[in-house]
Each structure stands twice: as structure tokens, then as C-alpha cells.
């Protein structure tokens, strides 16, 4: 059974790592811990039943509780594929538009892409002083691809 566990927003990987360490130490009936990219404030735990999951997450820092109803394997699959499809390929020299955050509505040229951190460094277009800004990839969408130009 899969259970949605509430965690401190932005601390999903930290909470998952602590839970993973806890599962390695003890004899638990927890089978997997899933961090879905783009699903802030939640992780998914596959466990034998609700009681096992509640006992497993008890007294773990950054864990805020769990939703009472389990979710189906199909729902988990849909979440994972939807969220991973949402991560787009942003490349150097692409033009992006910010969809959220302090630069919402601004357009920018991509200077550098760091896929390991899911960050891009951009230079805002149509500003008086162009300054490089580093931000998360999910705050921008590609509006113009640049093919073959480096």
C-alpha cells in the first residue's frame, strides 16, 4: 500500500534520507520511499499497512504526518510520470519566460544549465542593467529554442 506523507516543504529529500536510514537500521515492513520531483511538501511511502507507516514516520524530524487514505499504485505511477514529464529540457541560449517567483512575466536568455541542481543561470531581457540570475528550472518555461548555437 502507498501512503502520502506530509513533510516540511523543501525538505523532502532530507526527510526521505532520514527515513531511509531508519529503515536500514530496523526490521520494518516499509518497501520503498519515493520523492516525486515537483511535489513539494509530500513524499510517498510503500508499507505493509497504515499502522506500520504511522509507526515508521513517528518522531522523525521534518515529517508532519500522513494522509489517512492510501493511494493506488496507478496513482503513484501517474504522479511520477506526470511530474517527470513536466521537467523540460532547457538548454544554453534558449529564451525562457518566468511563470512564478519574483521574475514572473519576465523573459530571459539562458547562460548556464545545472541539471544536477535543477537550476539555470539566466540574463534578463529588457532590463536596464543585465545581471546574471540563478534560479530553479521549474520557475521558467522555454518560449524559444535555439538549435545548434553555442
Residues 85-104: pLDDT tens digits? 555 688 899 999 988 888 88
- pTM of the shown model: 0.58
CATH 3.30.70.940 boundaries in the chain: 2-86
Distances (CA, A) of 144 to 20, 92, 94, 135, 137: 41, 11, 6, 18, 15
CATH 2.30.30.30 boundaries in the chain: 95-144
CATH (one of 1.20.120.80, 3.50.50.60, 2.30.30.30, 3.20.20.60) for 95-144: 2.30.30.30
What local confidence, expressed as pLDDT, does residue 126 receive? Answer: 87
Q: Which helix or strand (DSSP H or E) is residue 9 part of?
A: none
What local confidence, expressed as pLDDT, does residue 93 receive? Answer: 92
Residues 8-38: pLDDT tens digits? 988 999 999 999 999 888 788 899 999 887 7
Q: Which top CATH class is 2-86?
A: alpha beta
What local confidence, expressed as pLDDT, does residue 61 receive? Answer: 92
What local confidence, expressed as pLDDT, does residue 84 receive? Answer: 55
Residue 96 CB contacts under 8 Å (≥ 6 apart), including other chains: 90, 107, 108, 110, 120, 122, 140, 141, 142, 143
Amino acid at each position: 500500500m502507498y501512503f502520502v506523507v506530509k513533510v516540511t516543504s523543501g525538505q523532502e529529500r532530507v526527510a526521505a534520507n532520514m527515513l531511509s536510514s531508519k529503515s536500514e537500521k530496523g526490521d520494518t515492513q516499509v518497501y520503498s520511499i519515493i520523492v516525486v520531483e515537483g511535489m513539494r511538501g509530500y513524499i510517498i511511502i510503500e508499507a505493509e499497512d497504515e499502522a506500520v507507516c504511522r509507526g515508521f514516520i513517528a518522531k522523525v524530524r521534518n515529517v508532519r504526518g500522513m494522509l489517512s487514505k492510501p493511494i493506488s499504485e496507478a496513482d503513484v505511477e501517474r504522479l511520477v510520470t506526470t511530474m517527470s514529464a513536466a521537467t523540460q529540457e532547457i538548454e544554453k541560449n534558449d529564451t525562457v519566460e518566468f511563470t512564478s517567483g519574483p521574475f514572473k512575466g519576465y523573459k530571459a536568455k539562458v547562460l548556464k544549465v545545472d541539471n544536477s541542481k535543477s537550476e539555470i543561470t539566466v540574463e534578463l531581457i529588457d532590463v536596464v542593467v543585465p545581471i546574471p540570475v540563478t534560479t530553479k528550472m521549474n520557475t521558467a518555461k522555454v518560449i524559444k529554442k535555439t538549435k545548434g548555437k553555442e
